[in-house]
């Protein structure tokens, strides 16, 4: 893909309190989805969209993220000695997916603050932000589309999804107007509105392409609730200049920070996997039949 976007920023410093006690001693991003941690699904999505540089924003409790994408000489030697070459190639491939960089967010000052920490690394280039709780198993299709629109419009672009009823209060919400080719111009964006005050049913769902102007807007964004700097507030400043657009995605997403959606991700993605699909379908059928017999 011929694009100026080459870097993905993944804010992964959150504590994962929605998934306690599972996340008490391990990063929520390392929870397994089918056969690999959620963070690896996100990185693979970025790579599929043509990105080869990944900056992960971590915290002191997230060393496991760095270890996962690093070489493990002892394990590799063991697999080599036992002739487990397929497994060896698999774990080496993880470290070669992209060029990885890590920096720590010293205090929980919000998503906006985490993104601002990427300024020196990104410089004056456009870049992608991917929230690791949102898993899009679409082979990078959504991300590629966002990058294409950002290139053609010379503006920041976000992924939008229609949500039902009160669910909008869990997300940033955008008022939009169509500008052609499935692209929407965002005219208003607010963070987690109450259902009665939401400007639409379009939620921002964790995939963004930003022009470097976002960093100056973040510098001017005052702390909000709990002293956190909200990314949505900085995005609102982009509306007038250089512009903010959105694309509604039809790809299904999973909020892997929530227990039920994490379970749904494991079931649906296991069903799609050629190695596990038939066995999982049979297992689920047996479980449902046994439940009906009770």
Residue whose structure tokens are 């989805």:
33
- pLDDT score of 164: 86
Q: What's the token pair of residue 114?
A: 């985490």
- pLDDT score of 2: 43
Computed over every residue of the chain, the mean pLDDT equals 92
Does any domain span residue 294?
no
Whole-number Å distance between alpha carbons of 115 and 8: 11
Does any domain span residue 274?
yes
Does any domain span residue 260?
yes
Whole-number Å distance between alpha carbons of 210 and 143: 12
Does any domain span residue 137?
yes
Q: Count structural domains, the chain.
A: 1
**Other Cβ atoms within 10 Å of 108 Cβ, number:** 14
DSSP string, the chain: ---S--EEEEE-----GGGTTTTSSS-GGGSEETTEEHHHHHHHHHHHTT--EEEEEE-TT-HHHHHHTS--HHHHHHHHHTT-HHHHHHHHHHHTSSEEEEEE-SS---HHHHHHTTHHHHTTS-EEEE-TTEEE-STTHHHHHHHHHHHHHTSEEEEEEE--GGGGGGSEEEEEEEEETTEEEEEEEEES--GGG-S-SEEEEEEEEE-THHHHHHHTPPP-GGGPPPHHHHHHTTTTTT-EEEEE--S-EEETTSHHHHHHHHHHHHHH-TTTHHHHHHHHHHHHHHHHT-
Residue 216 has pLDDT above 60, yes or no: yes
Give the pLDDT band (50/70/90) at residue 224. confident
- pLDDT score of 253: 86
Residue 52 has pLDDT above 60, yes or no: yes
Cβ atoms of 172 and 192 closer than 8 Å: yes
User: pTM value?
Assistant: 0.92
- pLDDT score of 1: 39
Does any domain span residue 150?
yes
Whole-number Å distance between alpha carbons of 126 and 196: 35
* 257 to 147, 153, 157, 189, 260: CA distances (angstroms): 26, 33, 24, 23, 9
- pLDDT score of 192: 87
- pLDDT score of 3: 58
Tell me the CATH number at 236: 3.90.550.10
First to last CA, the chain: 55
The boundaries of the domain holding residue 118 are: 7-286
- pLDDT score of 257: 86
- pLDDT score of 14: 87
Whole-number Å distance between alpha carbons of 39 and 12: 9
- pLDDT score of 212: 95
**Rounded mean pLDDT, 131-151:** 94
Please report how many Cα atoms fall inside a 13 Å half-sphere around the Cα of residue 118, on the Cβ side. Answer: 32
Does any domain span residue 38?
yes
CA 272 vs. chain centroid, Å, equals 20
Q: Pairing relation of β-strands 134-136 and 172-180?
A: unpaired
pLDDT tens for 108-133 read 899 999 999 999 999 999 999 999 99
Whole-number Å distance between alpha carbons of 63 and 104: 10
Give the pLDDT band (50/70/90) at residue 29. very high
**Rounded mean pLDDT, 210-224:** 94
Does any domain span residue 293?
no
Whole-number Å distance between alpha carbons of 252 and 138: 8
pLDDT tens for 176-213 read 999 988 999 999 999 888 888 888 999 998 999 999 99
């Amino acid at each position: 893909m011929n694009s100026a976007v080459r870097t993905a920023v993944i804010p992964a410093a959150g504590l994962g309190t929605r998934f306690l006690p599972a996340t008490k001693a391990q990063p929520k991003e390392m929870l397994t989805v089918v056969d690999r941690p959620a963070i690896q699904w996100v990185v693979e999505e970025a790579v599929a969209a043509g990105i080869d540089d990944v900056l992960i924003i971590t915290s002191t409790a997230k060393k496991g993220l760095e270890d996962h994408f690093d070489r493990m000489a002892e394990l590799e030697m063991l697999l080599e000695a036992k002739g487990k070459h397929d497994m060896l190639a698999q774990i080496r491939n993880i470290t070669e997916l992209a060029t990885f960089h890590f920096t720590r967010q010293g205090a929980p000052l919000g998503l906006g603050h985490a993104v601002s920490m990427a300024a020196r690394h990104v410089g004056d280039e456009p870049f992608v932000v991917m929230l690791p709780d949102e898993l899009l198993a679409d082979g990078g299709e959504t991300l590629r589309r966002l990058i294409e629109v950002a290139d053609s419009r010379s503006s920041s672009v976000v992924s939008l999804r229609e949500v039902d009823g009160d669910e909008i209060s869990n997300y940033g919400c955008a008022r939009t107007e169509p500008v052609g080719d499935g692209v929407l111009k965002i005219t208003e964006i607010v963070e987690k509105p109450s259902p009665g005050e939401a400007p639409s049913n379009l939620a921002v769902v964790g995939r963004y392409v930003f022009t470097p102007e976002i960093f100056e807007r973040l510098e001017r964004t005052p702390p909000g609730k709990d002293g956190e700097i909200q990314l949505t507030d900085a995005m609102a400043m982009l509306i007038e200049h250089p512009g903010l657009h959105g694309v509604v995605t039809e790809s299904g997403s999973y909020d892997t920070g929530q227990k039920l959606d994490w379970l749904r991700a494991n079931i649906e993605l296991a069903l799609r996997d050629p190695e596990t699909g038939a066995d999982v379908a049979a297992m689920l059928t047996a479980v449902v039949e046994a439940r009906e017999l009770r």
